[in-house]
Each structure stands twice: as structure tokens, then as C-alpha cells.
Structure 1
Amino acid sequence: MRGALRRHGVSESDIDDLIQDAYCRLATLKSVDHIDRPGAYFMQIVKNAWRDSLRRARVVRLEAFTENAERIVEDEAIGLEATVMARNQLELVETLLATLPERCRTIFTLKRMEGISQREIANRLGVSEHVVENDVQRALRALQGALRDGGEDDQEEQKIGEQQRKIG
């Protein structure tokens, strides 16, 4: 299974997360009597988990967004308008990250920006992997909503407050 995922370009930390997720899904089954071919069944669970993660990743690639914004800010050849816009977007992301609850911000930073596996984050912070997954999703939803709205100045504080209430 690991070899097949590697051939498809899945990172090692994501492979661990996918396999762990598959084991968790299997553990929640009330019965396994309906499973004729356990290996094939497990492989299908992993494939479905991988497809789900790809779908979620397509929504907003925050890493690409922040890396691109930093590159534009640092590139002197880019026009002043593009530089100002990139700085504003980067400031918006930083502002939104600062408004997240501490645990949620820490988990999001470790997972999405430092690339640490879900399992390792859970062990470090003494929480369950489910908590890690939920906090990452909450942070992503808050950031995506704000980025989708464009972070308009006159409504920025109101949107940040709304995002904080959603995260809870």
C-alpha cells in the first residue's frame, strides 16, 4: 500500500495519515463479516481517504498562496501595485492566523506550514488525532472564507470576528 501511494507522489507524512485514517475507519465498523477480501477492502478505504484529501486540498492551497505572496513581496522587479496587494494578502493571512484559538493556530501551523504528521502533532500536544484533524479543518475554513471574501478593509474586522465565532 505504501509503495503504491509513493508511486502516486504522496508524501511520507501523508501516507502515514492515510493509513492511520483507514485503520480508524475499519475500527468503527460494527462488523467485518461482509468483507470477503480484507486486503482489497483496506486498499479501497485508503484510496477513498486519499481522494478525499485531494478534494480538500484543491479548495485553497494556502502554502502556495503564502509562498507566492512572499516571493512577490521580495521581488523588486514587480510593480508597486502587485507588491502592495501581495503584502496586504500576506498581512491578512497573518492577521487571521493570529485570531485563531491558540491550540487551533498551533496545530494548523505544525500541520500545514511545517508538514508534521497528524499523529506526531497529536502526540506532541497530548490530544487525539481527531482533534488535530478538526482543528486543521476549522482553521482552513476560517482562512478560506476570509481569502474568498478578499479581506476588504471596511468589513475585515467584522469577518475576523465571524470567523472567530465559527471556530469557537
Structure 2
Amino acid sequence: MTNTPAAAPDAEPRPTYRADGTPLSIQLFTVEGSGYGPYVGLPLYDLWTPYTAHLFTRATAELIVADMHRDDCGMRAGFAADGTLTFVWTEEHDGEGGTLAVRPDEHGRYLIGGLWSWDDWGDHVPHTAGQAAFACGAREYKWPGEKCTEHPEGLDHLYAQGREEAHAVSLRRDEP
């Protein structure tokens, strides 16, 4: 059996606001049980499960794909010329095998989930100082100024990349 959901970007609602009208903020994700990421994502809902899909930029989607290929998890993925990201997995992966095509939304973000179990990326995840600096920058993307939290010298570029990724996925570059 092959699964081929490939909804157009405007075919499903993309809520990014809480019920009270306040915008949802970014979160950091990893694949459960791994040290991958942190993947800067934008949840669509306040409450999510490990299989809920979240929005990710193309850069983060590329990192997810690279980590998946490095892990040899029975799943492959690639980007088509039109930007569509297609996941393909074997019967050994889930008992059925299948494909999933994800088209970017109007802002170039990919709705990824349901293929593996997400976990919050945090101190319980084994990580490097570089991953921690990137995560710190992403978490502090709304704070004005330069570096807000200290991290090891020489990792400012990773801190800046984390901030930039959070701004890109949230579409709120000017938010205080």
C-alpha cells in the first residue's frame, strides 16, 4: 500500500495563533531518542503529540533529511525542482511502505510530521556546545540586542544562525 498525501499549500488551515489571538512561538524539536537537531519549528497548535506536523523552513527540512539519511532508518527523502519534498519508506519501516509529498507553503515552509516521533529538544538530549548555542539563539529570537545568554567563545555564528532560523520560520522578524 502506498500513501501519497500531497495537499496544496492552501488546502488545509495553518493556524499559528492561540485561541486568545496571541501568536504561537517557535519550539525546538528532535527525533525522539536521538541527538539530532535542534530543529526550529513552528507548531500549528498549542497542544501537539509526538506525531503532530510542524512548520519548518527549507534549511531545517534539509537538515532533517540529512540526519534521516545518516541514520539509515529505512526512509529516504529528496527535494524536486519545484521544491516538493518527498519521503519514501520501505515495508520494513512500518509494515506497509509508502510515500509522502510535502509542498512548501506560500512562505517556503514545510509541514513535516507523522512519520516518526518528535520530542522537545532540551537538556535531556545529548548535544554539543554548538547545538546548544544554536538552540539558545533560536529561543532568544524575540529579544532585542546581540547575545543574551553566554555560550562558549567562537560559537556566536551558531547563536546567530539559531536566531535567524527562528525569525524565518515564524515570519515575525520585527516582533519585539
For normalisation by structure 1, the TM-score amounts to: 0.24
Structure of larger gyration radius: 1
Bigger strand fraction = 2
Higher relative contact order (CA 8 A, sep 6+): 2
Bigger helix fraction = 1
For normalisation by structure 2, the TM-score amounts to: 0.23
